[in-house]
Amino acid sequence: MILCIDTATSICTVALCRKGELVDIQESTEERSHAAQLTVLIEKILKKAGIKTTDLDAIAVSKGPGSYTGLRIGVSAAKGIAYASDISLIAIPTPLLMYYGAVEPGKYDYYCPLIDARRMEVYTAVYDSEGRQEEKINARVIDENSFSAFLEKGSVLFFGDGAEKCKGIIKHKSAYFSESFRISAEYMCKPAFTALEDKDFEDVAYFEPFYLKDFIATIPKKNILGGKTKP
């Protein structure tokens, strides 16, 4: 039994899996409510299943990239449960769990998860129809030539909360966009079970989210007393 947590985007979801198959799913009804909703969702899913965290074999968390705040909330909760319950911690790259939620064998040649970042930037990767990673996870600014190397070789499905802003820019005939895709912790079930079998665990004490880029905080030009801040 693995408890899966995803807080990498605006949606907060928790799934309970057994041997790679979904047992139950809980999802917040409000976007960007991770801090208030995550522990509530975890309590609901465990109570419904009639188990405690100590009954779990592992806890899995979406490790990013994605929302800085969301990732910190999810990873902190997963580490706390893993440590307190003495269970293993598994981390799944967010683009990989998205791939598992979008793949339709034989329909597209490549799958490109797009996680919304600032302005025209996205966090992304590229997988083939068998799940092999063809392009490593990266941050890129989208233009009309983005992913042209893959689009020239075959059909590409773009999906995720960053797909909408790319739809009007990437016009290649081999580009397809999913309008129905919604990220979910459910998609972590299979890769998390594989990690459990392979004993691919994280160090609970030292594991940190995969932010990809450093968090940038805005420094005000004036302080609250009206004077200039020191350089």
pLDDT, tens digit, 9 for 90 and up, residues 79-133? 999 999 999 999 999 999 999 999 998 999 999 999 999 889 999 999 999 999 9
pLDDT in tens, 5-60: 999 999 999 999 999 999 999 999 787 789 999 999 999 999 999 999 999 999 99
Cis peptide before 220 (omega within 30 of 0): no
pLDDT in tens, 188-220: 999 999 999 999 999 999 999 999 875 444 444
pLDDT of residue 32: 79
CA distance 185 to 26: 9
pLDDT of residue 104: 95
Whether 141 contacts 169, CB under 8 Å: no
pLDDT of residue 214: 57
Give the contacts of 72 (CB within 8 A, at least 6 positions apart).
209
CATH-assigned architecture of domain 2-94+184-198: 2-Layer Sandwich (3.30)
Task: Identify the CATH homologous superfamily for domain 95-177.
Answer: ATPase, nucleotide binding domain (3.30.420.40)
- Stretch(es) of the chain classified as CATH 3.30.420.40: 2-94+184-198, 95-177
pLDDT of residue 30: 81
Upper half-sphere CA count for residue 94 (Cβ side, 13 Å): 37
CA distance 28 to 9: 12
What is the per-residue DSSP string for 35-80? HHHHHHHHHHHHHHHT--GGG-SEEEEE--SS-HHHHHHHHHHHHH
Whether 163 contacts 178, CB under 8 Å: yes
